[in-house]
């Protein structure tokens, strides 16, 4: 009886939250009431104020991400710290924070080399949808554990996360702006400034005008590119791409590469970006380039996917193909930098947001993301 009472008391202490849960692949998410444990040592309870709806989350729905189920999705979020566990020193109750799905340790060889976006210290557990002790803080109404995507699970009203995931931003940064800096903006702008180092007066083609593609366009404008060609399968993206700074828009077709060359005096672009993670698009990058051009894979490609390239073209034209994960950024530095750029009017991140949703509309938000009718959908509370 004592054990039973203790167990009940512990359950009563748990916070009841709402969250979008994926229980079966290729099925709609269910918005459920879950129980959330209090934060343990070096953990923080955050009240979510905004989160973005990203294709990377939907890769879990389709099975491309190979995530164990059930899981609460969401890796692009921001909110307010409402409780801290023992030994937490980097954030305080009441602080607004961005949730970083790719924390780093500052101790491993990659971190010492400055490649913090390749740190593997925390990836094993967080990549499994668990906290750093190998467990989850979420349970459903039947007492069954529910995993937390990337150790976050921010498609919910509240989360418990490791304190290393919480990043403070300049005062006045709106939650929805902070959320998008947590993934789309950092991935796109970082790819331009950190990995490609796009030069002033250059020509660029960006395949895909979703949240990441539009962020790439923002970065190219900031870098001073002269010709910025946006390519997308949806005509709905033309107006938003132009408003973000694209000089030209092309609807995807069999003639896209030739059309890119026509817009660049028959030469091809200096830089070509795949913002989608599609192998058909990836194979169009090198043919879209002029001599010594750089092609970048920015979107997440399917696991174990392959592309074919013309080796002779690469050799004779000295073209380059590379990748970039999370914009090749140092999140501790670049998150704050991008937020300040927004506050200074240099990065119009607010233009990315096409529509606001409620948590209960999460499946509608996913549908409209997939059909290309929106740039970035944001759920706010």
What residues are annotated to the active site? Answer: 54, 56, 59, 75, 183
Dist. CA 251–CA 274, nearest whole Å: 15
The answer to whether the CB of 137 falls within 8 A of the CB of 44 is no
Distances (CA, A) of 330 to 42, 296, 335, 336, 349: 22, 19, 8, 10, 19
**Nearest-5° angle of CA 163, CA 186, CA 93?**
25
Neighbours of 245 (CB within 10 A): 18
Closest CA to 333 of 178, 168, 172, 120: 168
Instruction: For residue 281, report the phi and psi dihedrals to the nearest 5 degrees.
Output: -65, -40
DSSP state of 156: B
Burial class (CB in 10 A: 0-12, 13-18, 19+), 24: exposed
The answer to whether the CB of 207 falls within 8 A of the CB of 380 is no
The answer to whether the CB of 76 falls within 8 A of the CB of 156 is no
Place of tokens 């921010």: 154
Cis peptide before 70 (omega within 30 of 0): yes
Give every CB contact of residue 72 below 8 A, 6+ residues apart in sequence. 19, 20, 21, 22, 34, 138, 146, 147, 148, 149, 153, 155, 156
């Amino acid at each position: 009886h004592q054990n039973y009472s203790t167990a009940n008391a512990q359950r009563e202490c748990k916070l009841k939250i709402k969250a979008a849960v994926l229980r079966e692949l290729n099925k709609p998410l269910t918005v459920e009431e879950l129980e959330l444990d209090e934060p343990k040592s070096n953990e923080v309870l955050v009240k979510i104020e905004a989160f973005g709806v990203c294709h990377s989350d939907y890769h879990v729905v389709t099975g491309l991400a190979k995530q164990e189920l059930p899981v609460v999705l969401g890796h692009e979020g921001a909110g307010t710290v409402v409780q801290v566990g023992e030994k937490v020193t980097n954030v305080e109750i009441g602080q607004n924070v961005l949730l970083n799905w790719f924390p780093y340790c500052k101790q491993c060889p990659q971190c010492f080399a400055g490649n913090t976006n390749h740190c593997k210290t925390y990836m094993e557990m967080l990549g499994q949808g668990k906290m750093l002790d190998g467990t989850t803080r979420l349970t459903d109404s039947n007492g069954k554990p529910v995993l937390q995507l990337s150790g976050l699970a921010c498609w919910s009203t509240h989360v418990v996360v490791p304190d290393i995931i919480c990043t403070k931003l300049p005062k006045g940064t709106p939650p929805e702006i902070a959320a998008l800096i947590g993934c789309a903006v950092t991935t796109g702008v970082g790819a331009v400034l950190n990995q490609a180092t796009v030069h002033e007066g250059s020509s660029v083609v960006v395949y895909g005008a979703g949240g990441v593609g539009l962020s790439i366009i923002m970065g190219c404008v900031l870098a001073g590119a002269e010709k910025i060609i946006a390519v997308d399968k949806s005509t709905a993206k033309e107006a938003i791409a132009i408003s973000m700074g694209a000089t030209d828009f092309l609807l995807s077709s069999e003639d896209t590469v030739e059309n890119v060359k026509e817009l660049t005096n028959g030469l091809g672009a200096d830089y070509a970006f795949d913002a989608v993670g599609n192998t058909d698009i990836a194979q169009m990058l090198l043919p879209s380039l002029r001599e010594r051009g750089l092609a970048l894979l920015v979107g997440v490609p399917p696991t174990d996917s392959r592309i074919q390239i013309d080796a002779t073209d690469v050799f004779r034209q000295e073209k380059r193909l590379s990748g970039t994960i999370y914009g090749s950024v140092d999140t501790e530095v670049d998150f704050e930098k991008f937020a300040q750029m927004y506050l200074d009017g240099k990065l119009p991140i607010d233009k990315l947001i096409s529509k606001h949703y409620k948590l209960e509309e999460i499946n509608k938000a996913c549908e409209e993301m997939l059909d290309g009718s929106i740039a970035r959908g944001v759920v706010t509370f």
